[in-house]
Structure 1
Amino acid sequence: MKFVRIFLKVLLGLVILILLFLAVSLAPVDETPYQQMPYYTRTKERLTQLPTPPAAKTPIRAGWAKANITPPYSTPTGGYGARRGKHWHVVSDSIFARAIVLDNGSTKVAMIGLDLLITPPTVVEALKKRLPEVGLRWENIYTGAIHSHNSMGGWAPGLVGQLIAGGYDEKIVTRVTEGILAAIRAAQMNMAPVQVGYGEVDASDHIYNRIGSSGPTGPLDGLIHLLKLKKASGESALLCTFSGHATLYEDSMWNYLSRDYPGSLVDRLEKKSADFAVFMAGAVGSTGPEARGKTDFQEIRNYAGDLALRIERTVPEIQTKSDSALSILTLPLDLREPHPRVIGNWRVRPWLFYAVYGDYPSDLKALRIGQTVLLGTPCDYSGEFVADFKPLAAKKGINLMITSFDGGYIGYVTPDKYYNRTTYETRDMNWFGPYNGAYFEEMMMGLLEKIKP
């Protein structure tokens, strides 16, 4: 009988502890409209206060270079959480940091393309300290990533970082940072006047909407977007963005370090379409690649090969001309409290989210190069939003390229009408609550208005 009383007391104590933990760890989802929230007011004020871009002093000059950042030792594979931090051991293809530096006498900008899953927030923190070494600040940087799920991990501390990118290794952060700085330095050594041109080609048959499994969805951005820079010498660079997730390797292929299809595509472009090429993931949130092939390696060759063929037919038609318009805007984002949902409409409290993930600043970016504007987002940004920007872009007379992974990472941003769907993109990876879609659209359109009055 005494044993039973002790057991019941211990059990009661455990129940009380669990209830107390739940009370301090969980809270209901806050569905207050974003326009009524303090974070909206603060970001809106920052947007209003952004300076007018300075007038150009010269036509655009540009230079480009890359640095090999493949580590000399095995690292965790950055990508699928299902891989649980397993290390790759075979280098299928090397990974790089690529830089295009542009200058019009008043503004200098470096575009950075990384052969990684995302632009790691830890790397951004390091860059903010070290960019003055190459004459730049974070506000002069536009970054993107190829979003390969088979690239180098080890760049994110914390429990969530462990799931996404494996065990943290400070040497990896340093290696990526050093590679970016080396690419910028080399690019600055070969700058010359350039002509600028834009092209696009449809490849919507190569992607599908993963949220479609839960119900009707809207159209995605299925265009390959191309920005061409050409020197008087004939040397050219090509920036390519596309909204297909680089996930052609299956979970079981964690043993390979690879750039997935973007790497194969860039290598092909540098043989036939440009002297230098950079790929940045476009609005990839919820898009999957339509794979064709019996093995992952065949799928990558086929996928990249068909995209390359379409690009090769388009590039000769791109008309380039001298232009002096160059400007960049950085908008620091305030966000709703973290809202990862765990049980029904209950979400973890901020202290717990920050304890397992970290608290990283995030920005929206806008970069104008001639008559093309790039909008950068710190997330997997849904391709369904792109159609909403087309009327404003047409009114402004600009070509628009929207990219993901510009620095911080806040999960997925998908249309608000899908918020209560029980899909990976809308539930597991929506970390900052309802109305993020409308909030991002408003701020991004505000940036578009600012950078191209």
Structure 2
Amino acid sequence: MISRIACSYSHARRRRRVATSAAVLLLLLVSTTATGQEPSARRFRAGAATSNITPPLGELIVGGWSPTPATHIHDELFARCLVLDDGQSRIAMVLVDNVGVLRNVLDHAKRLASTRSGLPAERILVASTHTHSASTARGTNPYDETAPLDDYQTFLAGRIADGIQRAVNNLAPAQIGWGYDFPRTAE
């Protein structure tokens, strides 16, 4: 049973990696075609960074029927940032370890990142892992996106922007590649 679960998990991870690689390649292909430049005339660069977004102890851990306050930290939470630059345009992709982040928090993070890095807000994509083992950034009233940001939401937006700026600072010549492997099974 355990090996079957591990194989399913491994297979799902592989599918996500292949889908992500395909999306990035498609983006680069469209970008190259749209500019009319030869791919060799430009230099592809990538930069990555992580920002620790672990909330303080006492924040509610959501995902069950009755959220409970965190009393210890088993694993820290991160915003994982990737910036891609093909010499003509630059994009940022961020994956946040969180069950859900409101649009106004993401908009604030994008504004901060744009101000700090010069990257246009419309070229920043932020997604959430939707983990049920962490805090939420939905605030006290998740249905009111006009409410002022609480302390954790403000912290999270700042850390996302920090990660994007560090990823920009880490831009270096890069190549894209992909592969796959088949899990080894016991015989």
**From 101, 111, 134, the counterpart of 1:151:** 134
Aligned mates of 2:142, 2:52 — CA distance in 1: 29
1:153-232 aligned within 5 A: 153-158=136-141, 170-200=150-180
- Partner letter of residue 133 of structure 2? N
1:50-199 aligned within 5 A: 53=31, 54-55=34-35, 58-80=42-64, 82-83=65-66, 85-133=67-115, 134-158=117-141, 170-199=150-179
Q: Is the 8 A contact 2:94 2:125 kept in 1?
A: yes
Report the Cα offset of residue 185 of structure 1.
1.6
Aligned mates of 2:167, 2:179 — CA distance in 1: 24
Question: Secondary structure of 1:100's partner?
Answer: strand
Report the Cα offset of residue 171 of structure 1.
0.9
- Partner letter of residue 60 of structure 1? F
Q: Is the 8 A contact 2:46 2:82 kept in 1?
A: yes
Q: Is the 8 A contact 2:113 2:164 kept in 1?
A: no
Aligned mates of 2:136, 2:149 — CA distance in 1: 9
Residues 154, 107 of structure 1: alpha-carbon distance in 2 compared, 3 angstrom cutoff: closer
Return the TM-score normalized by structure 2.
0.66
Report the Cα offset of residue 199 of structure 1.
3.2
Aligned mates of 2:142, 2:164 — CA distance in 1: 32
Question: Secondary structure of 1:66's partner?
Answer: strand
Aligned mates of 1:120, 1:183 — CA distance in 2: 19
Q: Is the 8 A contact 2:109 2:158 kept in 1?
A: no
Report the Cα offset of residue 103 of structure 1.
0.5
Q: Is the 8 A contact 1:76 1:86 kept in 2?
A: yes
Residues 160, 99 of structure 1: alpha-carbon distance in 2 compared, 3 angstrom cutoff: same
- Partner letter of residue 141 of structure 1? I
Aligned mates of 1:143, 1:181 — CA distance in 2: 11
Aligned mates of 2:167, 2:107 — CA distance in 1: 22
Aligned mates of 2:63, 2:72 — CA distance in 1: 16
Moved over 6 A (4+): none
Match of 1:22 in 2: none
Larger gyration radius, structure 1 or structure 2: 1
Aligned mates of 1:183, 1:156 — CA distance in 2: 22
Aligned mates of 2:108, 2:51 — CA distance in 1: 17
Report the Cα offset of residue 154 of structure 1.
4.5
Question: Secondary structure of 2:134's partner?
Answer: strand
1:10-21 aligned within 5 A: none
Residues 124, 199 of structure 1: alpha-carbon distance in 2 compared, 3 angstrom cutoff: same
Question: How many residue pairs are counted as aligned between the two chains?
Answer: 145
Residues 72, 157 of structure 1: alpha-carbon distance in 2 compared, 3 angstrom cutoff: closer
Report the Cα offset of residue 180 of structure 1.
0.9
- Partner letter of residue 189 of structure 1? N
- CA RMSD across the alignment: 2.7
Residues 160, 87 of structure 1: alpha-carbon distance in 2 compared, 3 angstrom cutoff: farther
Task: Give the gaps of 5 or more residues in structure 2.
Answer: 1-29
Report the Cα offset of residue 169 of structure 1.
6.5
Q: Is the 8 A contact 1:155 1:170 kept in 2?
A: no
Aligned mates of 1:135, 1:147 — CA distance in 2: 29
Question: Secondary structure of 1:158's partner?
Answer: coil
1:358-437 aligned within 5 A: none
Q: Deviations over 1:21-71 (max 9, x none)?
A: xxxxxxxxxxxxxxxxxxxxxxxxxxxxxxx85426613101111111112
- Partner letter of residue 43 of structure 2? P
Aligned mates of 2:53, 2:142 — CA distance in 1: 25
Question: Secondary structure of 1:197's partner?
Answer: coil
- Partner letter of residue 98 of structure 2? L
Residues 200, 129 of structure 1: alpha-carbon distance in 2 compared, 3 angstrom cutoff: same
Residues 72, 119 of structure 1: alpha-carbon distance in 2 compared, 3 angstrom cutoff: closer
